[in-house]
Amino acid sequence: MTEPQVVHSTTETVRSGYLDPSARPVASVDSGDRVSFPDTWTHWGNEAVFGMTFADREPLRHKYPQGPYSMLGPVEVKGAALGDVIECTVETLRTLDWGWNSFPLGVGALPDDFSEPYLHYFRFDDDRRRAEFVPGVELDLNPFVGVIGTEPVDDQPTSAILSGSYGGNLVLNELTVGSSVFLPVFKPGGRVWFGDVHAVQGDGVVDQTAIETAAEELVIRYDLRKAVPLTGPLVETATEWIGFGFSDNLDDALVRCLRGLIGWLHAAAGLTESEAYALCSLAVSFRVTQYANQLGSAYSSVPAKAVHGRVPKRIFSPDRVARVNRWLRPEGRTS
């Protein structure tokens, strides 16, 4: 296995809060190449530091109006073109030894229920496996990448708190080591960005914050999948395929997720659309990915509410699983 390219977080490689279509690629890779990103930045251009008070942090939200996430990129995959898909696999992820959870007033699922903002810092153990929340309450850490996406069609900067067919602010806690996300390509090279490393998060992220952190070590592999008609991001783990729906309300997000999975199961697994609809009712778990609500936000964009549908692989025969794999990774059509 060849050594990965190394890309450091610097003022040239990071954009605070947005995907920048004018940025030069930080790496240009062939399909199958890996890129190492050591010592990634915390939110707001690495200005978030351990122990900073809420009052000291609050001006940062206004300093970076497009969003808090330190976005690193873009990575260009040679040969990627419209109609292709880039499979991004998280191979290594070790966080810093600290993180935080917070909510200002006017955000999250309960924007009016609290009279004071909240901020809590965490220290992690040496193995980055556990963190104490309060005495008697400990959390098992499950680090993952919160934001990852190709650049959308628009030639204007895209806020990193948004999500859509290109990926973006997915905040899916299954996008951890060993998992892959398949991202449709909208521009030559795909131009993949990522940011917003989390240490642990529940489905829904109801106060709108996980344990926010950054990575000491992160390695991502980029594989080009030619002519794969995927219409939105799809995550694959060892046991599931996971699709998404985004909207300004959960009802529409669920319907979009469902319709997307019906179409995908029809194309990739060879089910009729009626069979796929029934299977989604019988075996697919639909969960709230993110209940975003920024009534009191300082940011210029509002993140979508998101629902994800988890399709278990165990219900399919080996032949069906192989069929889906061929659809996602066409034989003889990878670079």
Q: What is the DSSP letter of 268?
A: I
Quote the CA–CA distance of 289 and 173 in Å, as a whole number: 9
Q: Where are the domains of the chain?
A: 5-328
49: pLDDT strictly greater than 50: yes
**∠216-172-195 over CA atoms, to 5°?**
40
Confidence category of residue 43, pLDDT binned at 50, 70, 90 = very high
Read off the pLDDT of each residue in 160-184 and give the average, rounded to a whole number.
Answer: 97
334: pLDDT strictly greater than 60: no
Place of tokens 């990965």: 4
Contact 207, 291 (CB under 8 A): no
**With left for phi above 0 and alpha for psi between -120 and 50, is residue 165 left, alpha or beta?**
alpha
Read off the pLDDT of each residue in 161-186 and give the average, rounded to a whole number.
Answer: 98
Confidence category of residue 79, pLDDT binned at 50, 70, 90 = very high
Read off the pLDDT of each residue in 324-332 and give the average, rounded to a whole number.
Answer: 89
Quote the CA–CA distance of 214 and 100 in Å, as a whole number: 11
328: pLDDT strictly greater than 70: yes
Contact 108, 293 (CB under 8 A): yes
Read off the pLDDT of each residue in 75-82 and give the average, rounded to a whole number.
Answer: 98
152: pLDDT strictly greater than 70: yes
Quote the CA–CA distance of 90 and 74 in Å, as a whole number: 16
- Residue 302: per-residue pLDDT: 87
- Residue 57: per-residue pLDDT: 93
131: pLDDT strictly greater than 60: yes
- Residue 296: per-residue pLDDT: 65
235: pLDDT strictly greater than 80: yes
Read off the pLDDT of each residue in 66-95 and give the average, rounded to a whole number.
Answer: 97
Read off the pLDDT of each residue in 186-210 and give the average, rounded to a whole number.
Answer: 97
- Architecture of the domain delimited by 5-328: Sandwich (2.60)
Confidence category of residue 247, pLDDT binned at 50, 70, 90 = very high
Nearest Cα to Cα of residue 300 among 67, 87, 59: 67
E strand or H helix that includes residue 54:
helix 54-63
Read off the pLDDT of each residue in 102-122 and give the average, rounded to a whole number.
Answer: 93
Quote the CA–CA distance of 234 and 212 in Å, as a whole number: 23
Nearest Cα to Cα of residue 37 among 15, 14, 20, 16: 14
Strand partners, 38: none
Read off the pLDDT of each residue in 166-183 and give the average, rounded to a whole number.
Answer: 98
- pTM for the whole thing? 0.96
332: pLDDT strictly greater than 60: no
Read off the pLDDT of each residue in 239-266 and give the average, rounded to a whole number.
Answer: 98
Nearest Cα to Cα of residue 218 among 58, 29, 92, 76: 92
Q: Say whether 56 sits in a helix, a strand or coil.
A: helix
Rounded to the nearest integer, the mean pLDDT of the chain is 95
